[in-house]
Chains A and B, each alone.
Chain A
Amino acid sequence: MKIGLFIPCYVDQFYPQVAKATLTLLEQLGCTVDYPLNQTCCGQPMANSGYAHLAGGCDDNFIRNFAGYDYVVSPSGSCTLHIKQHLHGHNAATDNDASAIRGRVYELTEFITDVLKVESLPAKNQVHPHRVRPLRVGLHQSCHGQRGLHLSPMSELVGNQGVSKPARLLKMVNGVELVDLDRRDECCGFGGTFCVTEEAISAKMGKDRVADHLRHNVDVITGVDVSCLMHMQGILRRQESKVEVKHISELLVN
């Protein structure tokens, strides 16, 4: 099984620890993982701003880097969804590759659940062995992972939608107590360029989302998308809060 690790551009540059945790976690689960060195960005920043027509170069570069892998795995629901929905080649050959990649790209928890079918995580003691009480973890449901990739049941829909993939994995970690939120799947307001073009609303949404976690005394806020987490971390730091923000891979890795 050839796995290509797709690390979103801003994770590569600003959150290398998330990429390392993702790589290590996959290796601990028995995978052999390749990191194609010339990858850059999925093109989503342009596309969500209305400039999908300028993202062709990113598409071509993505296809050059990831064609031929059995699976492309990424620690981001949003970038994964963008590739799944919008990656296109610009001639017959590359479009074939693009179509194959669209069918083989997975968000990390989705890959671990649906492809690796993991039932337990590699042996591990406590998250923090010195802790006397469990680590209270608030799971932020990033919208593109949840509503786009269906990683978790959605509060708007009726009927059985299966279990939450990230929550199921977090429950496998000893010493983690998953906290219920008042609004379990409201958007954090990051929204790509929305965070600067609609700064007032974006920041207010972020403050409100963070407040929900704080009301429930979380120690850590986690999620499948670093972009949402970066946004909430920026707000927590401004508030001089001690609550930590960690990508789910950092909690799952041994």
Chain B
Amino acid sequence: MSNLSHAEAAAVFNKDEARVDWHDETLWFVRSKRDRAAQSIPEWEGLREAASQIKNHVLSNMHDLLTQFEQKAIANGIMVHWAADAAEHNAIIRQILADNKVNQLVKSKSMLTEECHLNEYLKEHGVDVIDSDLGERIVQMRGEAPSHIVLPAIHLKRGDVGDTFHKHLGTDAGATDPQYLTEAARQHLRDTFLTRKVALTGVNFAIAETGGFVVCTNEGNADMGVHLADVHIACMGFEKVIPRAEHLGVFLRLLARSATGQPITTFSSHFHKPRKGQQMHLVIVDNGRSRQLGRADFRNSLKCIRCAACFNTCPVYRRSGGHSYHTAIAGPIGSILAPNLDMRQNVDLPFASTLCGSCSNVCPVKIDIHEQLYKWRQVLMQEGHGPTAKTLAMKTMASVLESPRLYRMAGKVGRGVLRFAPVVAENGLNPWYTHREMPEPPAESFRDWYINNKQ
């Protein structure tokens, strides 16, 4: 991950304006598909409300639901592990691999393992991990992190993928034909699926009443992995639990429509128990979630079902790219989750927004994302994570704006300077002026005019 702040990384991304336009248009296309899918369901807003209320119920009954889920899962023959943090999660997976004397793993999409930096950890410990989601495989070959939680390689053009496959899979140099490239990836992954003994998947929904879980993919890669493996490891943040199987009828209708505009993911695979001779492990992870659950203003960020609708609609995300967020989960939802994990490191993220509110409107579980961005700003500045210069500037600004006399004086001086010595503002030190002209300052304020003409 880069050490640049969001604004710095976004400025670098914006040096190639044509690429920014392409990135923006590509994601806007996905947002438009989402709109059409939502508009096709007259009861869409009712579905969102139902999903939101089910998730609110989950957040308020987390202990009971998780206990019920664990009991049922164990009764089904699933081995359940609890991990307090990323380190425990990674160690559990390494232990399962060691117990099975295996040092190779095939993994379908799991943002939780990105959050825990599982790939880097296993690599350090001599385990060879292959991501089987096509987008994830592409970024893995390139040594990059996913830039989007649903479309991990959305920052790359066909030519970039062609170059990557040429280097790693030996495809023809300069090839950009999607069918040719996909076929190369398919052959490469097929070999992986056939030879890996342990397959790891994420979890989209864990059902307390049945002890089963559901994994959604479009490529069938999760199924290919686990059906051919002796050991299935599924990893989930504890907030993935839902009370009953019938609730899937709400969430599965919302998830894919919100994510890509599809009516449903191509594969919604239900796992209840290991098949004969197979081991099935479930790793349930906290990693800061209980802390977030305890923050009254931010707990409902845990309702998230990782559809990325907020990414696709966010005008800032579309123009800054996922890597500028320097966190496993980018975009608006990432910006309200990340400060919980590390305030100092993620202090810039709640400010990477205009608070336009589009994210909250597309959210299928009605998380008040933009209001939480505003609230995180208050928490971060009050806890002293603001730069000293900014804090001083804000104190000065507040003392001027709260005093009618100082405000009028500052306004008069400011307008005068802009009128008679515009160079003070119209220079390279003023970020406004880089791409925008200054407003033309009038001779008199409205108040002056009002006193002279209306009183």
A residues adjacent to B (C-beta < 8 A) = 7, 9, 11-17, 19-20, 23, 35, 37-41, 43, 45-58, 60-61, 143-144, 147-148, 154-159, 183, 185-187, 189-192, 194-208, 230-231, 233-235, 237-238
Contacts and interface: CB of A to CB of B under 8 A. Distances in A.
A20 B446 contact: yes
B407 A198 contact: no
Interface of B: 6-7, 10-11, 13-14, 17, 20, 24, 28, 35, 38-39, 41-42, 44-45, 313, 315-316, 319-320, 350-358, 360-362, 374, 377-378, 380-382, 386, 390-391, 394-395, 397-399, 401-404, 407, 411, 414-415, 431-432, 434-442, 444-447, 449-451, 454
Contacts of B399: 57
Contacts of A61: 402-404
Nearest to A237: B437
Contacts of A186: 315, 358
5 contacts: A50-B382, A194-B351, A200-B7, A206-B436, A233-B439
Given A12-B447, A37-B447, A41-B407, A156 B432 contact: no
Given A58-B402, A200-B11, A237-B437, A50 B380 contact: yes
A184 to B, nearest CB: 11
A234 B439 contact: yes
B439 A230 contact: yes
B27 to A, nearest CB: 12
B319 A201 contact: yes
B398 A35 contact: no
B319 A204 contact: yes
A131 B319 CA distance: 39
Given A194-B354, A237-B436, 20 more contacts: A16-B449, A41-B407, A50-B382, A51-B386, A53-B382, A58-B398, A61-B402, A61-B404, A147-B358, A147-B360, A187-B315, A189-B354, A194-B351, A196-B431, A198-B351, A198-B352, A199-B431, A208-B319, A234-B438, A238-B436
A154 B391 CA distance: 35
Contacts of B386: 50-51
Nearest to A159: B45
Contacts of B446: 7, 11-12, 16, 19-20
B354 A37 contact: no
A54 B39 contact: no
Contacts of B14: 200-201, 204
A49 B445 contact: no
A56 to B, nearest CB: 8
Given A38-B404, A191-B353, A200 B10 contact: yes
Contacts of A183: 28
A119 to B, nearest CB: 28
B315 A48 contact: no
B398 A57 contact: yes
A183 B27 CA distance: 13
